[in-house]
Amino acid sequence: MLGTNIGIDLGTTSILIFVEGKGIVVSEPSAVAFDTDTGRLLAVGQKAADMIGRNPDSITVVKPMRSGVISDFTATKAIVRVLLYKVCKNMVFKPNIVVCMPSTVTNLEKRTILDLVTAAGAGRACLIEEPLAAALGAGLDIRRPMGTMVVDIGGGTADIAVVTMGSISISKSVKIAGNILDEDIIRYLRRERNIVIGEKTAESIKKRIGCAYLRDTELAIGIKGKYYITGMPITDEVNTTEVYLAMREHLEAIAEGVRSVLEVTPPELAGDISETGILLTGGGALLDGMDKLIEKRTGVHVIIPDDPLECVALGTGYAIEHMDILENNGGIFKTREEITGFKD
């Protein structure tokens, strides 16, 4: 095929782009800023994300991905087009692009992703399921007749899958992940402390002192927000236990999702998983104690790779270099005309 091969991890929270021969060259938040009145594109990625919570009425900032799928086609196309231009502006031919998707997306959602990527500048595009890409990016040999469980916790979904012989045997997508946990913290502080905070503050709290399993040592950090009753600015502290209590119900739901997949896994594959362990990737892998929670609820040890945030993007790169994996999983490169049935 003509053109450079590119892999895209099109995530709810961030977008990563892998270029064959170069590795991951782009990692930007999934955010787009428009002029509210004219619709003119103002910023994408980090520049747009920096505006969240601070933008005037004249600027609209959106996160165009929700629960791992496209919720705003125009905004998603805008950010993908801009980021692709950064890496493709000196290329003679349009790139061939592999895009990640949650394991349980519908056929309509698959077509929408392919339509978007080709509209944004791809010559040809195909899809790969996120758990499969995560396993490849972590360096696992998925071609073996050996069961491996992958749990990829991103910003919008927790994708759980059992992989064997180069394909996914069983999968489940739980629409609870990082963004929901941020909302849990916002609701808890408003309900229990009458403190109103924004989503960026909630995310910072989660990353700095959040935990999925109570720490031995209590931590606390200062926060800034508004006092709900008076509407006045306030500075206060929040501690680890409060953050844990805020997120506990949804964290348990993720762990229960892992249990439910194990319960329906065929005996031979389940035996393999008890030996090889559960691979935990995505931003959720960085939440303190997430591995311990899953271990306690399943009885299976959990492995976190060196770069859990980059595994999916790296996996797209591996798939590009080993086309048989894509072909065995229905990954057929298609042009925009083949996807939509219309010429541009």
Residues 28 and 155 in one domain: no
- CA distances (Å), origin 307, targets 99, 310, 312, 337: 19, 6, 10, 37
Residues 196 and 217 in one domain: yes
Residues 70 and 124 in one domain: yes
CATH code, domain carrying 217:
3.90.640.10
Residues 127 and 36 in one domain: yes
> Is 271 domain-assigned?
yes
Residues 294 and 315 in one domain: no
Residues 82 and 118 in one domain: yes
Residues 53 and 114 in one domain: yes
CATH code, domain carrying 88:
3.30.420.40
Residues 292 and 209 in one domain: no
Count the neighbouring beta carbons within 10 Å of the beta carbon of residue 106: 9
Last residue of a domain, one of 227, 247, 267: 247
Which distant-in-sequence residues (6+ apart) come within 8 Å of 249 by Cβ? 184
pLDDT per position as a tens digit, 79-113: 998 998 888 876 667 888 899 888 777 888 888 88
pLDDT per position as a tens digit, 153-183: 999 899 999 999 888 999 999 999 999 999 9
Instruction: Decide if pLDDT at 51 tops 70.
Output: yes
Residues 46 and 61 in one domain: yes
The number of distinct structural domains making up the chain is 3
- Split at pLDDT 50, 70, 90, the class of 150 is very high
**What's the whole-number average pLDDT of the chain?**
90
Last residue of a domain, one of 247, 264, 282: 247
Instruction: Decide if pLDDT at 1 tops 50.
Output: no
Residues 117 and 158 in one domain: no
> Is 35 domain-assigned?
yes
Instruction: Decide if pLDDT at 302 tops 60.
Output: yes
What is the per-residue pLDDT for 21? 87
Share of the chain above pLDDT 90, in %: 65
String of DSSP letters for 84-104: HHHHHTT-SSPPEEEEEE-TT
Last residue of a domain, one of 247, 263, 285: 247
> Is 126 domain-assigned?
yes
Residues 235 and 161 in one domain: no
- CA distances (Å), origin 66, targets 157, 180, 192, 301, 316: 9, 11, 28, 30, 21
**How far is 89 from 205, CA to CA, in rounded Å?**
38
Residues 187 and 38 in one domain: no
pTM for this predicted structure: 0.89
**Structural domain containing residue 196:** 178-247
pLDDT per position as a tens digit, 194-247: 999 999 999 999 999 999 998 888 999 999 999 999 999 999 999 999 999 999
